[in-house]
Structure 1
């Protein structure tokens, strides 16, 4: 009889990061939420396409209302979302989320967008083996050391010169993203800084993924499923104006509103 292979040869434990969309609930009524989801995403059935989401319960925390996760999660999956975590809820709400198989993500910093840079601090986290960081980062590691730089570090832009097909995702961490080929329907481009697409943009573009409200999206042919800046997004359910649809355009954030402007106007 052959000896069993040692466990260390069968798997490795490594840190990894993913981009997640936060779905903030304003109501605990699952029937109303299901109707609202249908109304909002009826015209864009492939928008999420298995994309991971974190359920944000911040707006429901004070009322401490019970949420039926067993009824809610199938409604989210029906629209292509993949619920993986919950955040911001009361102790009872978070306990219900864990019982439903969701990971617990830490609450978002209250002043994430406006707080000035602070001196470098290091914090060693030894608690849970799974940590989900607000706006998108999921880090799996037993021990995590976080550093907050006092000054922003310059990161060279990431350049993509090949077409991105449906299901492909590119993330430029800490900097800008430049795409020289088509971003197809169902593909996704993400950057912590600006996004430049010198070809048709038909998929999803997410700039300022870590909360940079000054990030922008530049495109020579704007035909997107979704555009987002610092967590504020606009989908195809809001038609683009004729002067920007399929033409060179700029996407930026003004307050809490996405602005789309023609380039060269």
Structure 2
């Protein structure tokens, strides 16, 4: 199945709610399940029971799911630690099937209220100190996973096939990256991945991912590379750039 970075079936991103939003699109529940397995299959409980609203604004109105598909979808979301509480912009059979599982209509996405202009200059509030990066100085073997919550991750040795490195911020691998690397794991689209040798099985930024199945560009394969997220024609895609 084609899992190119520019046409993902699900994007999990922060919202103005105090919860995540999982936007489903494409019209095929199997595709959503495949991507959840591809990204988080080795990480049960990754989201630590965080509430999520299903955003169905991008789901085709003619693509009704079956009850078994909805059941499988909700179980897959819970497996990775998401707790579906509601939905929005659902049509067709979606509302009936989701309500059967206890989800409610969350209504339209809220907008940020305008803040009144203060009559006097506000006292500057110092910015919080950023969390220091997590540093790993040993090779990571198949089956090992490292997650830098709320900060960057710096790996000073090889990430071997079957290993996984995850960070809410940037991922730096100062060695060959042969396993999986996920930056911006909680939706930071400005996060980047850096490695001295790109040979990865999968790279992902803010939920947009690409696998080695499609091959890496010749300009970066096996070379020092940075990976970042860009938007083109309304679609997010990963950009691979050589560093030397």
TM-score bracket relative to the smaller structure: 0.5 to 0.7
Q: Distance in 2 between matches of 1:204 and 1:37?
A: 19
Q: Which residue of 212, 237, 240 corresponds with 1:257?
A: 237
Corresponding residue number in structure 2 for 1:25:
25
User: 1:55–1:83: 8 Å Cα contact kept in structure 2?
Assistant: no
**SS of equivalent residue, structure 1 residue 209:** coil
Native 8 Å contact 1:190 1:206 kept in 2: yes
Further displaced range: 195-204 or 84-93: 84-93
Please report how far the alpha carbon of residue 177 of structure 1 lies from its aligned counterpart in structure 2 after TM superposition. 0.5
Aligned equivalent of 2:56: 58
Write the distance in 2 (CA, Å) between the matches of 1:108 and 1:237: 38
- RMSD of equivalent CA atoms: 4.3
Tell me which of 186, 193, 206 is aligned to 1:217. Answer: 193
CA distance in 1, matches of 2:57, 2:168: 26
Cα contact 2:177–2:199 (8 A) shared by 1 = yes
What TM-score do the two structures reach when normalised by structure 1? 0.56
Which secondary structure does the structure 2 equivalent of 1:237 belong to? helix
Q: What displacement does 1:58 show?
A: 2.0
5 Å matches for 1:121-200?
151=127, 153-200=129-176
Structure 2: segments with no counterpart, 5+ residues: 1-19, 47-51, 116-124
2:68 alignment partner, one of 70, 73, 89: 70
1:43-74 deviation line (CA, Å, top 9, x unaligned):
xx977545559895523679497422414666
Q: Kindly tell me: are residues 248 and 160 of structure 1, through their superposed partners in 2, closer, same or farther at Cα, counting changes over 3 Å? A: same
Task: Tell me the secondary structure at the aligned position of residue 244 of structure 1.
Answer: coil
TM norm structure 2: 0.60
> The residue matched to 1:166 in structure 2 has which SS?
coil
Label 1:260 to 1:60 Cα distance change in 2 as closer, same or farther (>3 A).
Answer: closer
Q: Kindly indicate whether the alpha-carbon contact (under 8 Å) linking 1:51 and 1:82 is maintained by their aligned counterparts in 2.
A: no
**Offset of residue 167 of structure 1:** 2.6
- Match in the other structure for 2:178: 202
Q: CA deviation at 1:248?
A: 1.0
CA contact 1:58–1:88 (8 Å) conserved in 2: yes
Q: Is the 8 A contact 2:173 2:195 kept in 1?
A: yes
Contact 2:159 2:176 in 1 (8 A): yes
1:7 equivalent in structure 2: none
The size of the alignment, in residue pairs, is 195
Higher relative contact order at CA 8 Å, sep ≥6: structure 1 or structure 2?
2
Deviation of 1:224 (Å):
1.1
Distance across 1 between alignment mates of 2:178 and 2:99? 36
Match of 1:144 in 2: none
1:201 shift after superposition: 1.0
